């Protein structure tokens, strides 16, 4: 690992600065700038114009809870970046538009970012179907599109060179990391319950081979529409020989889903392993969730402050405004989407590192920005990457990072096992760097 925000590979585009120049730029931005008065940090910039980042917010629709916390995290990250001197000496501002968690509307938002708001890049989208629907428009507009989505659609080669996912891991890497724990610790026969759309299909298509490779068997796959409001009719479909229920649900009815699962099984439940998506933004102490005691969850980043958390994790949580339980410091009932929203913080720091490495000045440098990010590899844990050490694959436009397996203990999520990024890697399925812009 290095002690820099990114490591540039040899053989990068000749249009980019040398590695030494890039690192000197990044070091200056992270160090000297913070000692300057705020007004003077931008005085030497070639342009007084702010860098505008278009944020596609899921303000309405089934992604609203994520949208709210994605925005809070992004605002906190930009406050830090601006306090450190901005990007290339220029302040950075967020231009927010509601995409309604809707693919068609998201494409229209990208058009607005490019043509009306004069944004330098677009950023932030989470839900898979929204990313898939909007990404083609980003390519048509030649607008860098940094998504914080988890879906395998980027690394699979489904999208285009203008779309990158450098700040959050994808489902395929996550289930690759989780499968050995399921089969070695919980049971060999797995029934999976997943949402009936793109994100759920990533789980369906990637968990089965991962479980098989780990010596287990997926005995049933149950798809549920993400807009469903009651789930009792689905539980009888679970085969009697199921040893582990693997669940990942999304949308406003996730609490109902988990409660009804508990009512159905009672005390004689199988082992249960869930992705925290099923309870993101939901209080673990909510009535009806007592049956989850002793079950396990995947987390992208722990919701609860762990006893051994490093100082940079505490600083990140303080900046975003979440308490030791992962709820808002101003409202304990407002539970965060901690397992995903860190990706916004990290992606914005990657954008900063990429723009500084590319000496970004204007929208004419968008291609150079993409090439600079493609040249990144190792990203050490620290203030810019509080989730942990990770590696970016420029060919697939996908980052690989640590995964956390947490156990519900006394009503809280306590990390039981951490899987390093080295155990989440899989063979490349695409090389975006060979594609034209």
Check pLDDT > 60 for residue 232: yes
More confident residue, 46 or 237: 237
- Taking the C-alpha atoms of residue 200 and residue 30, their distance in angstroms, rounded to an integer, is 39
- Taking the C-alpha atoms of residue 150 and residue 131, their distance in angstroms, rounded to an integer, is 10
Q: What predicted TM-score, i.e. pTM, was given to this entire model? A: 0.88
Helix 338-357, helix 19-30: angle, nearest 10: 120
Check pLDDT > 60 for residue 301: yes
The contacts of residue 285 (CB under 8 Å, 6+ apart) are: 411
Which band of pLDDT confidence, cut at 50, 70 and 90, is reported for residue 153? very high
- Taking the C-alpha atoms of residue 338 and residue 303, their distance in angstroms, rounded to an integer, is 5
- Taking the C-alpha atoms of residue 299 and residue 78, their distance in angstroms, rounded to an integer, is 24
Token couple for 8: 């540039």
Mean pLDDT across the chain: 90
Residue pLDDT, tens place only, 317-355: 999 999 999 999 999 999 999 999 999 999 999 999 999
Helix, coil or strand: residue 224 = strand
- DSSP annotation of 38 reads G
Token couple for 303: 């919701």
Query: Nearest-CA neighbor of 69 among 327, 302, 417?
Result: 327
The architecture of the domain spanning 171-299 is: 3-Layer(aba) Sandwich (3.40)
Instruction: Encode 408-437: b = buried (16+ Cβ within 10 Å), e = exposed.
Output: beeebbebeeebebeebebeeebebbeeee
Check pLDDT > 80 for residue 308: yes
Query: Nearest-CA neighbor of 368 among 53, 30, 14?
Result: 14
Token couple for 262: 């508990």
Query: Nearest-CA neighbor of 169 among 437, 431, 423?
Result: 423
User: Cα–Cα distances in Å, from 353 out to 59, 93, 193, 265, 350?
Assistant: 28, 16, 39, 50, 5
- Taking the C-alpha atoms of residue 232 and residue 234, their distance in angstroms, rounded to an integer, is 5
- What are the residue ranges spanned by the domains of the chain? 19-169+338-401, 171-299
Extended strands (E) in 7-81? 51-57
Question: Lowest-confidence range among 75-84, 119-128, 244-253, 324-333?
Answer: 244-253
Token couple for 309: 């958390």
The contacts of residue 218 (CB under 8 Å, 6+ apart) are: 190, 191, 192, 207, 208, 211, 212
Query: Nearest-CA neighbor of 163 among 361, 365, 437?
Result: 437
Just give the CATH number of 19-169+338-401.
3.40.50.2300
The contacts of residue 40 (CB under 8 Å, 6+ apart) are: none
Is 19-169+338-401's fold the same as 171-299's? Answer: yes
Q: Are 64 and 226 in contact (CB under 8 A)?
A: no
Ramachandran angles phi, psi of 332, nearest 5°: -65, -15
Residue pLDDT, tens place only, 8-23: 333 333 334 444 344 3
- Taking the C-alpha atoms of residue 237 and residue 256, their distance in angstroms, rounded to an integer, is 18
pLDDT score of 213: 96
pLDDT score of 254: 85
For tokens 């081979």, what's the residue? 209
Instruction: Encode 229-255: b = buried (16+ Cβ within 10 Å), e = exposed.
Output: eebeebbeebeeebbbbbbbbbbebbb
């Amino acid at each position: 690992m290095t002690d820099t925000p990114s490591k540039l590979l040899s053989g990068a585009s000749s249009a980019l600065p040398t590695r030494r120049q890039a690192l000197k730029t990044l070091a200056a931005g992270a160090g000297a700038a913070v000692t300057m008065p705020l007004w003077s940090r931008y005085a030497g910039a070639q342009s007084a114009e702010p860098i505008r980042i278009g944020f596609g917010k899921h303000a309405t629709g089934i992604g609203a809870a994520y949208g709210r916390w994605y925005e809070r995290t992004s605002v906190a990250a930009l406050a830090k970046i601006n306090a450190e001197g901005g990007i290339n000496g220029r302040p950075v501002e967020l231009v927010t538009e509601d995409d309604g968690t809707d693919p068609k509307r998201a494409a229209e938002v990208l058009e607005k970012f490019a043509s009306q708001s004069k944004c330098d890049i677009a950023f932030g989208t989470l839900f898979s179907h929204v990313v898939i629907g909007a990404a083609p428009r980003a390519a048509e507009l030649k607008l860098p599109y940094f998504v914080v989505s988890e879906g395998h659609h980027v690394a699979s080669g489904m999208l285009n060179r203008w779309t990158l996912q450098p700040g959050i891991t994808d489902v395929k890497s996550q289930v690759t990391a989780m499968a050995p724990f399921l089969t070695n610790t919980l049971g060999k026969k797995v029934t999976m319950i997943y949402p009936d759309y793109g994100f759920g299909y990533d789980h369906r298509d990637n968990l089965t081979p991962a479980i098989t490779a780990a010596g287990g068997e997926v005995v049933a796959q149950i798809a549920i529409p993400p807009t469903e409001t009651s789930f009792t009719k689905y539980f009888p479909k679970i085969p009697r020989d199921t040893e582990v229920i693997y669940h990942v649900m999304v949308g406003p009815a996730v609490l109902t889903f988990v409660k009804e699962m508990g009512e159905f099984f009672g005390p004689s439940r199988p082992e249960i392993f869930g992705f925290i998506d099923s309870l993101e933004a939901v209080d673990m102490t909510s009535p009806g969730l007592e049956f989850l005691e002793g079950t396990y969850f995947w987390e992208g980043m722990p919701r609860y402050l762990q006893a051994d958390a490093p100082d940079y994790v505490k600083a990140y949580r303080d900046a975003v405004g979440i308490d030791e339980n992962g709820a808002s410091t101003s409202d304990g009932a407002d539970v965060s989407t901690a397992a995903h929203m860190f990706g916004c913080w990290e992606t914005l720091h990657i954008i900063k590192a990429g723009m500084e490495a590319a000496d970004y000045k204007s929208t004419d440098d968008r291609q150079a920005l993409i090439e600079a990010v493609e040249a990144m590899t190792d990203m050490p844990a620290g203030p810019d990457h509080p989730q942990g050490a990770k590696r970016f694959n420029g060919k697939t436009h996908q980052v690989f990072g640590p995964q956390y397996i947490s156990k519900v203990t006394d009503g809280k999520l306590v990390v039981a096992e951490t899987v390093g990024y080295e155990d989440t890697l899989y063979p490349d399925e695409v090389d975006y760097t060979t594609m034209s812009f």
